[in-house]
Amino acid sequence: MDLGLKGKTAIVTGGSSNIGRGVVLALAREGANVVITFRDPVQSRKTADDAIALGGQALPVRTEVVERESVENMVKKTLEAFGRVDILVNNVGGGNDGPALHEKPWEEIDEEIRKNFWAQVCTCKVVSPIMMKQQWGRIINIGTDVSRSGSARNPIYAASKAAVGGLTRSIARQLGRYNITVNSVLPGWTLPEKPEDVGVGSFWYGGKAEKLFSPEFMEKQVKALPVRRTGTPRDIAAMVAFFASEQASYITGQTIAVDGGATMEM
């Protein structure tokens, strides 16, 4: 299916690793120009080269998405390179499992809130006036399925991602009249397809995840899923690409979990 994204310009925050990388490649496959915000230059260059090989154009821009000035600079470079911002995918996020809330250092709490919520506020604020002037835009915010179920392992991560849902619905109401849709995708367990698909800063980089999640633990998680498997970046990217397309032009303010049925709603 042609999603009508050829020549569109997308910004994907955290676009070099795992889910972000999958989104970049999916959009590039549809002919979009993709700006990749990154902290790992080697991994971002690899993802950019892979995107270009698929037929898109790709521009890595080092960005601290929690810093207003850095976001403004990244968007400026996007406009200089491509002249437009059609699609924004807010993918950056993450948290540190444990300790319990009452034991977690204030610095970690602040960092998780800024990474998971404040970063999306920054990018939406900077990009939305550009889309309003264009009278066209797609904003896709990446959350997590534990924002619905809660997480004893990391309540700050779950709560800050839950705030993304409120942001999504609120700005969807504000921006709909400008032909801008705003939706959210909630990934479940989404593992990299290959170790080389992640870079420094990723939760899956350097064996950190393996230390936290034993094979027995992961087997238990998979058995609890109706589809009996973990997700891949391609699973998430397919929904993001659909939301970015003209086919989804009458869908806004919605939150879709792509989690193998882990958080079904009645």
Type of residue at 103: E
Q: 258: which strand partners?
A: 187
d(CA 206, CA 184): 29
d(CA 47, CA 54) in angstroms, rounded, equals 11
- C-alpha–C-alpha distance, residues 111 and 214, integer Å: 26
Q: How far apart are CA 208 and CA 202, in angstroms?
A: 9
Nearest to 90 by CA among 67, 116, 114, 72: 116
| Residue 157 annotated to the active site | yes
Q: Which of the following is catalytic: 157, 178, 205, 250?
A: 157
What's the start-to-end Cα distance of the chain, in Å?
A: 31
Identify the burial level of 25 via C-beta atoms within 10 angstroms of its C-beta, where 0-12 means exposed, 13-18 middle and 19 or more buried.
buried
DSSP letter, residue 253 = S
Report the distance separating Cα 94 and Cα 144, nearest Å: 10
C-alpha to C-alpha distance for 239 and 243, rounded to whole angstroms: 6
| Total Cβ atoms within 10 A of residue 183 | 23
Cβ–Cβ contacts within 10 Å for residue 117, how many? Answer: 23
Catalytic residue numbers read 157
